[in-house]
Amino acid sequence: MKAPIPIYVAVEDELSEWVARRALSTRSAGYAIGAVYSQGGFGYLKKRALAFNNAAKGCPFLLLTDLDRCPCPPQLIEEWLGRPKHPHLLLRVAVREVESWLLGDPKGFSSFLGLRTPFDLGNPENLDDPKQELLKLASSSPRRLIREALTWKDEASGRLSQGPDYNAPLAKFVINDWNIGEARKKCRSLDRLFLALERIEADFAAK
């Protein structure tokens, strides 16, 4: 029996960490997650990208970030690295945010929110602000605890913001109920994460 593949993880926030962990947990090859680097936002990841690329020479490294306002993932990768990427650095970019990937499972997420009928946002990667769409959906949930945990509304502007307990219920959804296979069908950037994992697994299987 093959030993699990060691891997380090670097993410923007807690939700991204749970998404990364769930993705790795679905792989039959098995992964042993070492250190998780997360110090709040993309700025830290961008600053450390070259160091993570260098560290990948010794151990695979999954760096997961959001595309946000950058035009496309290749441009972001070029701006962050500016040099050849080590094949064991998995610099994966969620288009436009990791929330897109959760919205890629409309049936599951609708059930999580307690909505009577699944929502239809089309391709979630085409949304300008996936997180805002997620918050709008959460604000319509008949489940008060979900609404109050995930959302906070500015009465002056009417804009929804992240609620006081945003990560915990979403982490529970990601771990227990997220249909990641369905999300892969809708979210190309999520599917590309799995293709990158397959390449790592092929490398380790050949050793």
Question: In this structure, what token pair is assigned to residue 2?
Answer: 């093959």
Looking at the predicted structure, is the pLDDT value of residue 1 above 70? no
**pLDDT value at position 8?**
98
- Mean per-residue pLDDT over the chain, rounded: 95
- Domains (ranges, CATH) in the chain? 5-95+187-205 (3.40.50), 100-182 (no CATH)
Which pLDDT tens digit goes with each residue over 161-184? 999 999 999 999 999 999 999 999
Distance of CA 60 to the CA centre of its chain: 18
Looking at the predicted structure, is the pLDDT value of residue 156 above 90? no
Which pLDDT tens digit goes with each residue over 98-152? 999 999 999 999 999 999 999 999 999 999 999 999 999 999 999 999 999 999 9
Which pLDDT tens digit goes with each residue over 40-73? 789 999 999 999 999 999 999 999 999 999 999 9
Residue-wise DSSP of 66-96:
E-TTSS-HHHHHHHHH-SPPPTTEEEEEESS
Looking at the predicted structure, is the pLDDT value of residue 83 above 80? no
CA–CA separation, 133 and 81 (whole Å)? 31
**pLDDT value at position 19?**
98
Looking at the predicted structure, is the pLDDT value of residue 206 above 90? no
CA–CA separation, 92 and 192 (whole Å)? 8
Tokens 């701006």 identify what position?
Answer: 79
Neighbours of 74 (CB within 10 A): 10
